[in-house]
Structure 1
Amino acid sequence: MRALTWHGAEDVRVENVPDPEIVNPRDAIIEITATAICGSDLHLYDGYVPTMREGDVLGHEPMGEVVEVGSAVENLEEGDRVVVPFTISCGSCWFCEEELYSLCDNSNPNEEIAREMMGQSPAGLFGYSHMMGGYAGGQAEYLRVPFADVGPVKIESDLPDEQVLLLSDVFPTGYMAAENADIEADDTVAVWGCGPVGQFAIQSAWMLGAGRVVAIDRVPERLQMAREHGDAETIDFEDEDVYDRLMAMTGGRGPDRCIDAVGTEAHGTGLMGVADKMKQQAHLEADRPHVLRQAIRCCRKGGTLSVPGVYLGHADNVPVGPLMNKALTVKSGQTHVQRYLDPLLEKIEDGDIDPSFVVTHREPLEKGPEMYETFRDKKDGCIKTVLTP
């Protein structure tokens, strides 16, 4: 089959790779009909994620049609149309029973690598390094889905792929980010990063009762999308100081809830931003925590900081003192996607939201390498790309 494969920093290729096969009775094989490039895929593209190997198949936002199921899979059958969550979860360990699916104890066959780096291992993820299981991803013609009796959600309506595809990751991720922010009625919510996760965090903040949403970015088309589709007030951090502007907007108190939808490759300003980038490129720190620093400084006393943005390791100069003395609550984590699939699908089917508004580019799989570069460099107004094998 054809698949997008990783060969090092800025080197993604479309190649022929072996077709996936059933290896466990709980597996299913999906023929991919649509798959997307995620912002966190760019951390792989830029070479910042450890334990990648040459030839790894990329992608963790797929959907398609079931073409084969293992003998233990009773909830799916050949011909079913499904969206596949990026988290791989067994459904029966303590964490899965608590609906903490991205912390599954049983889905990462390389848990010793993750344990060495993190202390404990989270769940396995599709197409996201050998530390996270070494699973082939979904930017391909076919995908093997482990624990298929737990993960995929069936699409039984005639909604087009683009409207439901983003249930695989970015819509639930934005929703969980807003949920983790502990939004109360009429709160002011500040969202750093207006990529797809940030856009869905904005939408979800309104769903959860926010009184005001402020979106922070520097890319004009992303800020425009936040205004037009998210009814957000916007701050271009290249034109004005974010702290000063947020204080002016909130009477000096600061936003009640802050969401970091950026993560490890934040574009910092000033000398500290330059230093972060140099240290990351020299492997002296894993992450650029500019947004974390700024959100901690801006958030009101007693507020909440939600972190859906992907971080990879250690970061310098994170202001722990202000975090503690301002009594901030921090919530983070990979998304427990399976928890949100049914309720968010219902919102789509009821017409409450059409997630396809973030899709700006639609291309065949063969153009994947070109679209990675376009997305990373924010060219051609690219916010979200859907690939079709």
Structure 2
Amino acid sequence: MKANPGGQIDSADIIGRDAVIDELWERLAQQSIVLTAERRMGKTTIVKQMVKEGGAAVFPIYRDLEKVVSPAEFVSNILTDISGYQKGFKKVEEAFGKFTKDFAGWQIGNIIKIPEASTSRWKEILENAIEYVMSHPLAVDDWEDGKKGKQIIFFWDELPMMLDNFLKRENGALVAMEVLDTLRALRQTYPQLRMVYTGSIGLHHVISKLKDAGYNNAPTNDMYTCDLQPLDPDDAIELATQLLDGENIATTDRSAVANEISQQVDRIPFYIHHSILKLKSLRQQISPDLVKAQIDLVLCDPNPWDMNHYQERIKTYYRDGAKEVALAILDTLAESTIGLSLEQIRDRNLAIQDIEIFRTVLKLLRQDGYLVMNVDKTYSFRYGLIKRYWQYQRV
């Protein structure tokens, strides 16, 4: 296996995610899912593998929504994907063709667009499109035989980013609210409809902004939230071992070096891949001590492995006031060798008087994967790698 940080991972090279994928399929049999995780944990790899697996009774549809800026564009993407869903089933294709003509939709190749005159009808078109899909289920073998239809599953990557794009436009908050509420209403109307939301920014940040604009609904309370974890220790060591072999890297002790790589980067696949490339560049025999020394050197870089995201995300998505408190909390915990309680954190930041903002921000930092609360009610960094990055870059 070759190192490929951030690239598309071949199915044969996905290690340690079978149990997670099985759990997600099992849960999808019952309800829709919000898949959350720290950045670079492998959400997209898992989702794309599920789409590839599919199955005789499932029709999975994947769409990256990061660059979608309007609900009409979102619905156009859905229509395009539905067009692929019914392709090859003549009677269903004919029915879909009549449906698109109803709103004067036009098609170039496999792409369906909503014309400018109909963009304000996006909600009606979306509701009709889903009604169409649910009333024209593709049979496992032959739709005309009336056999059990395939279950359609929409895998929507970067859905929070799409909603955040809406917020940057005029009346964006109202539009984002309506989209979320419409999707939830469709799930309630069609119990067999499934959606999977994933994203590199937490959906809670978007919903928080919407609540500031008067939003009171809970648009995902009917969905199961799955928090993707790093690899299990044995799987992380196996990944490191296979990459060491694939890159032909000499080591003093294969098992010890693979174990050290796993521990130094908290068993996160993306950073295991990056570590291997760093070690390969040395063109020398690698020992466990050298692994830690080289990763420390990387963390001294101006933007090590694109980890400045951890600072930029706070500056971008946290509100004024909360930004300063979040950075102060993380600076304080990075300097400490032990976990600290809320009171201890506050005592070290006396310039911030409001204890409630500490509680609010600590919750946000836990939701975003920076921190964990320990059983003794102290707080510490969730990942040692991020703490070490913070120590080198901030304190």
Please state which band the TM-score falls in when normalised by the shorter chain. Answer: under 0.3
Question: Which protein is bigger by CA-based radius of gyration?
Answer: 2
More strand by share: 1
TM-score between the two structures when normalised by the length of structure 1: 0.28
TM-score normalised by length of structure 2: 0.28
